[in-house]
Amino acid sequence: MVIAGDFKNGVTFEMEGKVVQVIEFQHVKPGKGAAFVRTKLRDVINGSVIEKTFSPTDKFPPAHIERKDMQYMYNDGDLYYFMDMESYEQIPVGKDMLDDNFKFVKEEMMCRINSYKGSVFSVEPPMFVELTITDTEPGFKGDTATGTTKPATLETGAVIKVPLFIDNGTVIRIDTRTGEYLERA
């Protein structure tokens, strides 16, 4: 059991039928009255954040989130298939479980699959990926304005802003958390 008086950042537990993770906590001992624990919790499944106060003696069942690295294989309509590289088992994941940053993932890339009791609730792509530019306007000699960018289409179909000197066929590194160009690979 997880006891509210022993909360630490990152602890996950079940509360009111939801799986929550402690983001922040504070033990409060007022001059009068009983002590309490003020917390900020994130619903692991849908990402919402709630603030709640507990008695230090409140108990909750622990929630074990399974995180597994799997290889993205292919998509078939609204289903995206991932393969466990140890057992070679393939699991389908619905398009609604994928974040916007999944647009930077191409086939055969490793992703982290997060599940609770066998039910997948999120897919995390790698933090940094290397992709090839398939379509962008050519840079012109004399275009040397610092910090100027232009749109570029990547091999996955995603469109990002890149510096003027980047041409078609260039392999670049991208931060998938922000969707920003980092450097040439």
Report the C-alpha gap between 135 and 152 in whole angstroms.
6
- Tell me the β-bridge partners of 11: none
Structure tokens at 177: 């958390």
In the structure, what pLDDT confidence band is assigned to residue 59 with cuts at 50, 70 and 90? very high
Question: Whose CA is closest to 43, among 98, 112, 121?
Answer: 121
Q: Is pLDDT of 134 > 70? A: yes
In the structure, what pLDDT confidence band is assigned to residue 32 with cuts at 50, 70 and 90? confident
Q: What is residue 137's DSSP assignment?
A: P
Structure tokens at 61: 């069942």
Q: Is pLDDT of 182 > 70? A: yes
Q: Is pLDDT of 132 > 70? A: yes
SS3 state at 4: helix
96-128 confidence digits (pLDDT tens): 878 888 889 999 999 998 888 888 888 889 999
In the structure, what pLDDT confidence band is assigned to residue 150 with cuts at 50, 70 and 90? confident
Q: Which residue, chain included where needed, has tokens 């960018």?
A: 149
In the structure, what pLDDT confidence band is assigned to residue 64 with cuts at 50, 70 and 90? confident
In the structure, what pLDDT confidence band is assigned to residue 145 with cuts at 50, 70 and 90? low
Which residue type sits at 180? E
Report the C-alpha gap between 133 and 171 in whole angstroms.
6
Which residue type sits at 140? F
Q: What is the mean pLDDT of residues 62-84?
A: 90
Complete domains list, the chain, with CATH: 2-60 (2.30.30.30), 65-124 (2.40.50.140), 128-184 (2.40.50.140)
Sheet of strand 171-175: strand arrangement: 159-163, 149-154, 128-136, 171-175, 180-184
The predicted pLDDT at position 143 comes to 60
Q: Is pLDDT of 50 > 80? A: yes
